């Protein structure tokens, strides 16, 4: 069984969908952000603050490469992972890449009370999210084998749609 790689902007629900899919399909989840936090012993804002974004991005690449030796995993990627070409090549080696999309308003609603995303610090508004999303859109779509929009859908509906497309 190939891996399922979930990508998408912050707040599109990758972690929630990964957890639900893992129960339905009896697959193991790797939550990239969580694994990096566990290994570094620091939160993501702390890693960005003390070591810088490039250091964090390199950890993402290393972890992704490591995961390609695994099978039957659901890999829930941090929102920035598909932005590096190398990362996209790695995720495609052994996985079906599923892009979750949502409207900026949906994203804002989900991230507004969360302080764990350094890129959105001081930028929690629809205009900023729309702009950052626009900058990333082409790379997200280029990486995806399957695209599922999550707006106004339940977790069950999203999982069903995704599994039908797999």
Nearest distance in Å: CB 61, ligand S3P? 12
d(CA 80, CA 78) in angstroms, rounded, equals: 6
Q: What's the alpha-carbon Rg for the chain, to the nearest Å?
A: 15
Q: Which stretch binds ligand S3P (CB under 6 A): 18-26, 97-105, 115-123, 145-153?
A: 115-123
Whichever of 6 and 27 has its CB closer to ligand S3P, that residue is 6
Residue 118 interacts with ligand S3P (CB under 6 A)?
A: yes
Return the residue of 4, 10, 29, 74 that touches ligand S3P, per CB under 6 A. 10
Residue 117 interacts with ligand S3P (CB under 6 A)?
A: yes
Residue 44 interacts with ligand S3P (CB under 6 A)?
A: yes
- Across the strands, what pairs with 95? 3
Whichever of 119 and 142 has its CB closer to ligand S3P, that residue is 119
Nearest distance in Å: CB 160, ligand S3P? 23
- Comparing C-alpha atoms, which of 23, 10, 4, 24 is closest to residue 150? 10
Burial of 148 (0-12, 13-18, 19+ CB in 10 A): buried
Residue 119 interacts with ligand S3P (CB under 6 A)?
A: yes
Q: Which residue has the tokens 């350094």?
A: 118
- Across the strands, what pairs with 147? 99
The H or E element that residue 82 is part of is none
Nearest distance in Å: CB 31, ligand S3P? 8
Nearest distance in Å: CB 118, ligand S3P? 6
DSSP letters, 99-160, are EEE--HHHHHHHHTT----GGGTT--SHHHHHHHHHHHHHHHHHH-SEEEE-TT--HHHHHH
Q: How many residues bind ligand S3P (CB under 6 A)?
A: 10
| Residues 49-88, interacting with ligand S3P (CB under 6 A) | 78-80
List of residues contacting ligand S3P (CB under 6 A): 10, 14, 33, 44, 78-80, 117-119
């Amino acid at each position: 069984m190939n891996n399922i790689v979930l990508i998408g902007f912050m707040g599109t629900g990758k972690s929630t969908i990964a957890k639900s899919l893992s129960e339905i399909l009896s697959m193991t989840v790797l939550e990239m952000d969580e694994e990096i936090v566990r290994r570094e012993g620091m939160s993501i804002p702390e890693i960005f603050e003390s070591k810088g974004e490039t250091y964090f991005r390199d950890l993402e690449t290393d972890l992704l490469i490591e995961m390609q030796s695994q099978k039957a995993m659901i890999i829930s990627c941090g929102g920035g992972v598909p932005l590096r070409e190398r990362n996209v090549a790695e995720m495609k080696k052994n996985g079906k890449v599923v892009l979750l999309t949502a409207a900026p308003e949906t994203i804002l609603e989900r991230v507004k009370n969360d302080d764990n995303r350094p890129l959105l610090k001081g930028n929690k508004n629809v205009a900023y999210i729309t702009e950052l999303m626009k900058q990333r859109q082409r790379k997200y779509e280029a990486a995806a084998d399957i695209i599922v929009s999550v707006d106004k859908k339940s977790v069950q509906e999203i999982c069903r749609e995704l599994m039908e497309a797999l």
